[in-house]
Amino acid sequence: MSLIEIKDLHATVSDKEILKGIDLTVDAGEIHAVMGPNGSGKSTLAQVLAGNPAYEVTGGSVTYDGKDLLALPPEERAQHGIFLAFQYPVEIPGVSNAYFLRAAYNEVRKAHGEEEVDPLEFADFMEEKLALVDMDASMLNRSVNQGFSGGEKKRNEILQMAVLQPRLAILDETESGLDIDALRIVADGVNKLKRPDNATIVVTHYQRLLNYIVPDFVHVLVNGRIAKSGGKELALELEDKGYDWVTSGAPVGAGAA
Amino acid sequence: MAGSAAEPFVEAFDELTSDASTPAWVQSMRRAAFERFGTLGFPTTKNEDWHFTSVSPIADHDYVFLAAKSGDVGRDELAPFTFGATGWYTMVFVNGRFAPELSDIAKLPNGVKVWDLASAWTKVPDVVDRVGKLATYDNQAFTALNTAFMLDGGVVQIAKDTEVDRPIHLVFVTDATAAKGMMHPRNLILVGKHAKATVIESFVSTTDAVYLTNAVTEVSVGEGATLQHYKMQRESARAFHVGTIEASQARDSHYISFSLATGAALSRTNVYTTLDGEGSGATLNGLYMANGEQHVDHQTQIIHAQPNCFSREMYKGVLDGRSHGVFNGKVYVHPMAQKTDGKQTNNNLLLSETAHVDTKPQLEIFADDVKCTHGATVGQIDQTALFYLKSRGIESALARRLLTYAFAAGVLETIEVNEVREALEKMTLERFV
């Protein structure tokens, strides 16, 4: 059984149709890259899968782990193992990162009928997670994302992912605002969290991140539909030829560049 | 002769002023104030200072003046209101009257003196002759009524150069015997030159009775002195509370006020300070949280009377249910108060469609070389932040509480007394479930 099966998905934001029939199937153990030009709908797809109420699903279906994903509120999706790494992580002043992470971890545990962990147990648990994204324990005492640099915010997203151990992680433009060192740390973290029973969807505009998180499949989103799918070499081809190559409809021969 | 507004109070007033043990000068102050209250009457919404707050729920009740000692409050019942702190210098007043058996003032440090007002009239007349000098009532009906009925309260005197090691806590608690009663606590806080102290006033209740607290606190901050002055209004959910603080500041002094208002069916807090010496500064912060049908009103007034003074003001409000919040922040800058540096903000978070707030910054500037800014906002829970928390598996109710807390955190973190800050943080997290 596929981990997630998206069929003919349509979605609008402020009455404007953004997704116009997406079909995508992801199996456990796979990494899929979703690429596309600005406005193609790739971030919308990520938000819709995570359940952002700002987007309205107007058609199609999403089956996740045998469940009707679209019927679940965002918190239940998360409790069932969906994780969205935000392109723009939200700052929450006054709420410490430690409190936030433990609250999220306990909510997911609670949903699975497991006991909540106390702050001491959680501190032990956090040690290896912090090492994974090369973060200092002092980051836990700071307010969630407040005053974090772009790189720190993205590392904090991967830290959350490490804590929640999702079955399907969706990375939305994670490379934006990262220098090469931060990019490497973030990608490293994602790779280390890869297991045979989970999957990752990497939403990205640039091929750069895919040098570090190597996809099994690449899909090119154009105008709300998947225009082309292929293996990891498709990303390199796109980098080389630009999105016009796909959007113009007629593939350009290799020699024409 | 007192006018019609005073009529329901005449009998209690006559009884109070017939007590022969009270000095004549106090009785004459009471009489003058009662006369003034009769003329003023309770304010109406035509009065600009009360435009958004109708006090008719207060005026429509008849109250018994709680002149005698009453009530039965145990130390254990005070525990929820003492911030888990030990060793503070505490004066407890039950239903308006001093309760020495619940108070901890046996071991005051050098330079700190406290009295209950009822005995201070005769014990230290030279100290309490400041009463009525700082809080005027020409246009303040509630202060006039308080002055007419002033009977008990805390008198705190900090000698010059004294740094008080721990907070002084004045606790005004009501129990069920306060039902349909009225209290008019009157406090006096005198901070000497270069002294430093923290005074906390708490208005709390062990009951859900209807009663009226009408408190006035007069504050004098001496040259170069610093006073942290926190007011915690956590009255019974059905009570009425009017509390006025009037401070006067000498040169280079710093007055730091924090007002918390979460209790009472209807409350009005006035925090007024006059920067009456060059180089002085005032920091007025506050947090109000209301739900149900609560009405919570704050009026602040900062008078810049001298040059080179600063004022900082941050008030935040969280309103749920059908509650109504009011904030009116006045800043007057006198013609001679050049180089005034003033900043005022008021941010409000509405948690329901039916809650509302009226916010009114009011700056009147008569000097030409000043820097004064103000800003007010009214908003709702940020949907992006709410989705962010939910996307981490956090249930909707907890997510909303965390974001409410985050909203209030900015002003709570200004509280320097750790026990108070932590208690208020916890209270904020648990307030809106």
Q: Domain ranges in chain B?
A: 4-277, 382-433
The domain locations on chain A are 4-90+166-256
Query: Distance between CA atoms of A253 and A238, rounded to whole angstroms?
Result: 13
Report chain A residues touching chain B, CB-CB < 8 A. 50-54, 73-75, 77-79, 83-84, 86, 89-90, 92-95, 100, 103-104, 107-108, 111, 143, 160, 164
pLDDT in tens, B239-296: 999 999 999 999 999 999 999 999 999 999 999 999 999 999 999 999 999 999 999 9
CA-based nearest distance A79→chain B, Å: 5
Q: Supply the pLDDT for residue A252.
A: 42
Which of A87, A92, A112, A167 to mutate to probe the B interface, most B CBs <10 Å?
A: A92
Q: Which of residues 402-421 of B touch A (CB under 8 A)?
A: 402-403, 405-406, 408-410, 412-413
Residues of B whose CB is below 8 A from A107? 392-395, 398
Q: For B206-240, write each residue's pLDDT tens digit.
A: 999 999 999 999 999 999 999 999 999 999 999 99
CA distance A194 to A213: 10
pLDDT by residue (tens digit) across A59-88?
Answer: 999 999 999 999 999 999 999 999 999 999
**Could you read off the pLDDT of A157-178 as tens digits, one per residue?**
999 999 999 999 999 999 888 8
Pairs of CB atoms within 8 A across A/B: 81
Least confident of A72-76, A151-155, B27-31: A151-155
Q: Return the pLDDT at A110.
A: 94
- Cα Rg of chain B, angstroms: 21
Asked whether the predicted pLDDT for residue B3 surpasses 60, the reply is no
Can you give the pLDDT at residue B344? 97
Q: What pLDDT score was predicted for residue A256?
A: 35
3-state DSSP of chain B = CCCHHHHHHHHHHHHHHCCCCCCHHHHHHHHHHHHHHHHHCCCCCCCHHHCCCCCHHHHCCCCEECCCCCCCCCHHHHHHHCCCCCCCEEEEEECCEECHHHCECCCCCCCEEEEEHHHHHHHCHHHHCCCCCCCCCCCCHHHHHHHHHCCCCEEEEECCCCECCCCEEEEEEECHHHCCEEECCEEEEEECCCCEEEEEEEEEECCCCCCEEEEEEEEEECCCCEEEEEEEEECCCCCEEEEEEEEEECCCCEEEEEEEECCCCEEEEEEEEEECCCCCEEEEEEEEEECCCCEEEEEEEEEECCCCCEEEEEEEEEECCCCEEEEEEEEEECCCCCCCEEEEEEEEEECCCCCEEEEEEEEEECCCCCEEEEEEEEECCCHHHHHHHHCCCCCHHHHHHHHHHHHHHHHHCCCCCHHHHHHHHHHHHHHCC
Q: Could you tell me the pLDDT band of residue A253, with boundaries at 50, 70 and 90?
A: very low
What tens digit of pLDDT does each residue of B105-143 get?
999 999 999 999 999 999 999 999 999 999 999 999 999
CA pair distance B363, B333, nearest whole angstrom: 8
Residue A9 has pLDDT above 90, yes or no: yes
Reported confidence tier of residue A243, pLDDT bands at 50, 70, 90: confident
Q: Decide if B390 and A111 are in contact by the 8 Å CB cutoff.
A: no
Q: Which residue in B259, B257, B265, B261 sits closest to B302, CA to CA?
A: B257
Write the pLDDT tens digit of every residue in B374-427: 999 999 999 999 999 999 999 999 999 999 999 999 999 999 999 999 999 999
Q: Kindly state the average pLDDT of the residues A130-147.
A: 92
Comparing alpha-carbon positions, the chain A residue that sits nearest to B429 is A95
Q: CA of B394 to nearest chain A CA: how many angstroms apart?
A: 5
The complex scores an ipTM of 0.94
C-beta atoms of A95 and B384 within 8 A: no
Residue B432: the pLDDT is 74
Q: How far apart are CA B384 and CA A143, in angstroms?
A: 17
Min distance A217 CA to chain B CA atoms (Å): 26
User: With pLDDT > 70 as the criterion, what percentage of chain B qualifies?
Assistant: 99
What residue type is assigned to position B372 of the chain? C
Q: Using an 8 Å CB-CB cutoff, list chain A residues near B382.
A: 90
Q: Does the beta-carbon distance from A54 to B402 stay under 8 Å?
A: no
Report the C-alpha gap between A208 and B59 in whole angstroms.
Answer: 72
Average model confidence (pLDDT) for chain B?
96
Whether the predicted pLDDT of A257 surpasses 50: no
Q: Residue B387 and residue A160: Cβ atoms within 8 Å?
A: no
Q: What H or E segment, with its residue span, contains residue A105? A: helix A97-111
| Chain B residue numbers touching A172 (CB-CB < 8 A) | none
Mean pLDDT of the A236-250 span: 79
- CB-CB neighbors (< 8 A) of A86 in chain B: 388, 391
Given a cut of 50, is residue A251 above it in pLDDT?
no
Least confident of A118-132, B214-228, B306-320: A118-132
What is the SS3 string spanning B104-173? ECCCCCCCEEEEEHHHHHHHCHHHHCCCCCCCCCCCCHHHHHHHHHCCCCEEEEECCCCECCCCEEEEEE
| For chain B, percent of residues with pLDDT exceeding 90 | 97
Judged by phi (left if over 0) then psi (alpha if -120 to 50, else beta), residue B11 lies in alpha
CA distances from B270 to B64, B142, B185, B301, B330 (A): 24, 11, 15, 8, 11
Would you call A111 and B393 a contact, using CB atoms and an 8 Å cutoff?
A: yes
3-state SS assignment for residue A31? strand
> Is the per-residue pLDDT at A254 higher than 50?
no
Q: Closest partner residue to B394 among A83, A84, A104, by Cβ? A: A104
Q: Which CATH number fits domain A4-90+166-256: 3.10.129.10, 3.30.2350.10, 3.40.50.300, 3.40.1160.10?
A: 3.40.50.300
By the CB < 8 Å criterion, does B398 face chain A? yes
